[in-house]
Every structure is written in structure tokens, then in C-alpha cells.
Structure 1
Amino acid sequence: MPTVKIVEVGPRDGLQNEKQQVDTASKLELIRRLAASGLTTIEAGAFVSPKWVPQMADSLHILQALELSGSVNYPVLVPNDKGMEQALAAGVREIAVFGAASEGFSQKNINASIAESLARFDSVMATARREGIRVRGYVSCVVDCPYEGPIAPAKVAEVAARLLDMGCYEISLGDTIGTATPNRALDMLEAVSKLVPIAQLAGHFHDTYGMAISNIHACFQAGIRTFDSSIAGLGGCPYARGASGNVATEDVVYLMHGLGVDCGIDLPSLVQTAWFAAGLLGRAPTSKVAQAMATVH
């Protein structure tokens, strides 16, 4: 039976893009429920400026309350040396760094070119190597950019290869505004896999046009075995107008179960967690699976 790893990004990528604040105790309960459902990699926070991302201001408290030496991995986003210092203080085992395949998106997002943004990670990567911390790389706008339009697959491959060369063990390819279709996703993946082994690639799809599950299915058939998702479809991209959240974790798990793929996750438990997560924001989950299985809630 094939296996797939699902990286749960809801507590970080999901909540950080929600306007409503969620208190620390509720975040910890959400993370606990996600782990109890069988998820073994859960993004727990981001050491970024609380001025710009107030939802992540309690990341240190979150990490201090978690068992970081256990079987569940809790990576955090680290954008710079200051964030790395906080990550070290928290005792994390894995961090994530972000790049983009679009110059326009990079400038709007972090006020730096792609080359400048990657250069900022040199010292972060050096510290990670010295401290034995794993680093995962993210590439945004791998299909389209809200400012530039279509992105050349060769550009995505270039940025992904740069992150690999810097020392990232895995590269997550992000369809940031959710406009990908399977053929375009596969064209991009073909270009990237020429420079980065497919075993070190992950898919990160948003569901703006309802294509995320189709894209995941296509990429799975092409050999991808790691996918990012967000419980209850939480989040979105604040820099991409109209972009809805990441694909819902429960939808991805339903797909994988249907394909006979082992992802180690209990779907009924996960659906209950989706209703809990959405309830923290005063709404219902966006996912079809959570709505269809609402009777277990």
C-alpha cells in the first residue's frame, strides 16, 4: 500500500491569514486534536513580526507548551535571524523558509527581490546546520501570480533548486492563488523535477477554483507523496485578492483513503476537529467532506 505524508498547516498558514484572533488555549487544543487524529507534522507557529502578523504573536508560548521531543513534529516559519533566535529558544526541531517564483509577489510580500529574499536565509541556514535543525522550503506562486499572471515553470524550478542547494530537505510548491489545473500543475512539476528529485517535493494547493483535489490527485499520480493542507480549509492568501484557503485536510484524507493510500489519519476524528477549528472562527468548515460527515460532529 502506498503511503502519503500530510503536512497540516492550519494552526500557522491557516490561522495567520484569518482576521479573527484565536486565543492560545484554543490553538493548543486544536493542535492536540490534530495530533490525536493521527497527523504527525503540524505547523505550530511563525516567528514573524507581531505588528504584521498578530495572529502568530503567541508562537513562543505555543511551542513552549508542546512536547517537541515526541513523535509529532511541530515546524515553525522563520523569515530571518531574529526569528531563528526565537526558534532556537523554543527548542524547535524543524523550521520553514519561504521564497517565491514571482518577482512581483516577492516585492509585495516582503519588499525584496527573489534573489534578495533567498540571500537573507544564508545565515539562517548556517545556524540550522550548526544546530542540527531541519529546514523545509516553500515556493509561492508556482503557477500564477496575482500581480504578474502566469509564471514560467522554469522559474519555479530555478527557485526550488536554489532552496535545495541551500540545504532544504524538502520543497513545498505552492499554488498560492488557487488557479492551477492538473495540466498546468503537471507542466510545472515536470520542470521542477528535472532539478529537484520528486521525492523531495510536496504539493501545496489552494482551492479558489475548486481544483485543489484534482491537482493533488494528478500530482500523486506523477509521484508526489507529500501534500500540505489546512484543517477545515482555514486561511487564504492576504496578498491574493479573492483567494480562498488551502485545501481542507479532511478532503485530502478522504481522497487518499479512496485511492487506498495509507496516511495514518482517522477521518471521523479529523472531521470532528474540522468542526472544532471552524467553530473557533464562528463558522462551518468549507470542505465538502466535513459537511457530508456532519453527523459525526
Structure 2
Amino acid sequence: MRSRNLELPSKVIVCEVAPRDGFQAEAKWIPTENKVKIIRELAKTGLESMEVTSFVHPEAIPQLKDAEEVVRQVQDLEDLHFRALVPNVKGAQRAIDSGIKKLKLMLSATDSHSLSNANATVEDAQNRLEPIIDLAHKQNIIVGGSISVAFGCPYEGKVHVNQLIPIIKRYQKMGVSEISLADTTGMANPKQVYDTLGELKEEFPTITFSMHFHNTRGMAVANTVSALQQDVIHFDSSIAGLGGCPYAPGASGNVATEDLVHFLHESGMETGVNLESLTQTAENVRNMIGHDGGSYLLQAGPCSTLHRKPTAQQKIQINK
């Protein structure tokens, strides 16, 4: 039988999004000092990038009303590249004034999700991004785009690549060269991810794509493989599998960072992350918040964790 080698990148960059995507889904207030403690623990694991908070209106997501204070207290973590999600110019200015050097924009792939999330159609919502980008460029702040429900919408079903192309073209005209494709409610499948990225990378060879997979239906790692096969090396994940979109019915947590890093390491890819430290941090986060979002590593441990071999006497007892 002929064997075929699976060609995958040698290095992958993981962005931790729990301080934003994970925390926003928590109804119970997480004290600011606990948020800062978790961010500091994550910084020790070797992660390079983190989405540290969102500068949304406090009434929209009360959990993140302390965004300025959180950012202020982690400014000394210079080895971490921080970014923050911003919905409008006011939020962008708050982020910049707090010391954030990279902004991430909010946008949906479908009108239904956009109306739920931003109270505007996709076209109108994207028009509103222009002044944010202008503000950022004037202050030498990096801007990354995003497209939520990029593969499937809980209101409209499967999202075709043709719905993404005009959005990305508009982003490109605005001067945005990094775009995150989010599977917000875990509706993507590996073939769809591979085919969609194939078309998008051919259409937009200068755009850097990153993937934001939720594990709602257990497909996140399989979808990651498809993205890796298309030479995508930027992935978002959330410690302990926390997360979820408050404006998308059925949304659950992101792929757990420890599960993603374990998979990447077992497959021979480097991340610069210490898996043992990361898993311990995930356990600490679960204990602090009171639950996890479906982390396989917290349940079973890494493949390298072996169990004590049964003795001959134990085998005899089992066979009786």
C-alpha cells in the first residue's frame, strides 16, 4: 500500500482568547484581580499572543466592564503581544488610551447574526468600521479584521465562500491585511474549511488568515488539520475550553488551548508553549471559575501520562 506523508507547518502561533471570549460567557462576576492573575499565569506558559479583553459597552457585556483596569495591570508583560476586540470608535479610543497596540474588529458573515450582534446588516456594520481603522492608522495601531459565523450561521445555515469574498475585499480596501475566520457555533467541517481556505488564499494571496474554532460539535481539532494543510499557522484558543458568543444560540466554548497545543506537539509542530505549565494553568482556571468548557486534557491528561502496569496477581483476579 502506498503511504502519503501529511505535510504540516513546523511552527504554529497560538493566541489565547479566554480573557475575552472565555470570560464574556461567564455570568458570575470574575474579580479583576482574578482576571489579572489568570493572564499572568498564562504569560508564564510561553504563549506569544493574547486577546486580553473587549472594549464593549459595560451594559452589553458587564463581565468586561473592567477592561481598562485589566490592561493597566498587565502592561509589564512585554513578551506578550496583546490585542483587544473593539466594536466602535469609542471602544477603540478606550483601548488605545489603555495602551493596546493591536485592535480586532467585529463583523459577521450573515445579516441575521450581524443584526443580533451589532444591530446592523453586514454592509452597514462594515461601513462603521472605517472610522475605527482611520483612528488606528493615525496612531500607528495595528488593526486585524474578523468574520464571525464564517462557516455556518445558527440563523441562516451554511455560509458559502462567495459570502466571504466581498467582505474580505472591502477589508482589503480599508487597509486590513489580517483576518480571523471564526466558526462561532462550531458548524464547520474539515472539507469545508480546506476548500474555503483554498479559494480564499488563491483570491487573497497577501492576506494573513487566522482561525477561531469553537468546539461545539467536537470538530475543532479536525478543522485545525484542514487549516494547517492550507498553510495557516495562526490559531485562537481558550484555556480550559471556555467561551461562547452571547448573541449566537447554541454557541459553546472555543477549542481548549491545552488540547490544541497537545495536538500540535504530538504532531511534531512547535508552539513555544510549555504544555505542562499550560495544563496546570487550565486546571487552576477551572478551579477558580468553577467549571471548564470541555477540555479533554483536563479529563485524560496528555498521551505521555502513562498508568501503572497491572501485576500478574491483578490479571488473575480480573479473569476470575
Please give the range of the TM-score, normalised by the shorter of the 2 chains: over 0.9
Which residue among 119, 129, 142 is the counterpart of 1:134?
142
How far has the Cα of 1:69 moved from its partner?
Answer: 7.4
TM-score by length of 2: 0.88
TM-score by length of 1: 0.95
How many residues of Structure 1 are paired with residues of Structure 2 in the alignment? Answer: 295
How far has the Cα of 1:156 moved from its partner?
Answer: 1.5
Q: What does residue 69 of structure 2 align with?
A: 61
Q: Per-residue displacement from partner, 1:104-139 (whole Å, max 9, x unpaired)?
A: 110111110111111111111011111111111110
Please, which runs of 5 or more residues in structure 2 have no aligned partner?
1-8, 306-320
Which residue among 165, 174, 179 is the counterpart of 1:171?
179
In 2, are the aligned partners of 1:198 and 1:223 still within 8 Å (CA)? Answer: no
1:98 maps onto 2:106 in alignment: yes
Q: Distance in 2 between matches of 1:168 and 1:119?
A: 14
Q: Distance in 2 between matches of 1:8 and 1:147?
A: 28
1:264 maps onto 2:272 in alignment: yes
In 1, are the aligned partners of 2:101 and 2:141 still within 8 Å (CA)? Answer: yes
Point out the more displaced range, 240-249 or 266-275.
240-249
In 1, are the aligned partners of 2:113 and 2:248 still within 8 Å (CA)? Answer: no
Q: Distance in 2 between matches of 1:271 and 1:166?
A: 39
Structure 1 ranges of 4+ moved more than 6 A: none
Q: Distance in 1 between matches of 2:218 and 2:12?
A: 22
Point out the more displaced range, 71-80 or 234-243.
234-243
Identity %: 38
Q: Letter of the aligned partner of 2:234 in structure 1?
A: T
How far has the Cα of 1:179 moved from its partner?
Answer: 1.3
How far has the Cα of 1:288 moved from its partner?
Answer: 0.7
Q: 1:269 to 1:198 in 2, by over 3 A?
A: farther
In 1, are the aligned partners of 2:179 and 2:207 still within 8 Å (CA)? Answer: no
Q: What does residue 15 of structure 1 align with?
A: 23
In 2, are the aligned partners of 1:164 and 1:171 still within 8 Å (CA)? Answer: no
Q: Letter of the aligned partner of 2:201 in structure 1?
A: S
Q: Distance in 1 between matches of 2:238 and 2:172?
A: 24
Which residue among 86, 89, 102 is the counterpart of 2:97?
89
> RMSD of the alignment, in Å?
1.7
How far has the Cα of 1:195 moved from its partner?
Answer: 2.9
Q: 1:256 to 1:31 in 2, by over 3 A?
A: same
Q: Distance in 2 between matches of 1:269 and 1:198?
A: 35
Q: Letter of the aligned partner of 1:83 in structure 2?
A: G
Q: Per-residue displacement from partner, 1:172-199 (whole Å, max 9, x unpaired)?
A: 1001110111011122212322333376
In 2, are the aligned partners of 1:68 and 1:91 still within 8 Å (CA)? Answer: no
In 1, are the aligned partners of 2:242 and 2:292 still within 8 Å (CA)? Answer: no
Larger Rg: 2
Q: Distance in 2 between matches of 1:186 and 1:244?
A: 23
Q: 1:38 to 1:152 in 2, by over 3 A?
A: same
Q: Letter of the aligned partner of 1:98 in structure 2?
A: M
How far has the Cα of 1:88 moved from its partner?
Answer: 2.0
Please, which runs of 5 or more residues in structure 1 have no aligned partner?
none
Which residue among 120, 126, 129 is the counterpart of 2:128?
120
Q: What does residue 44 of structure 1 align with?
A: 52
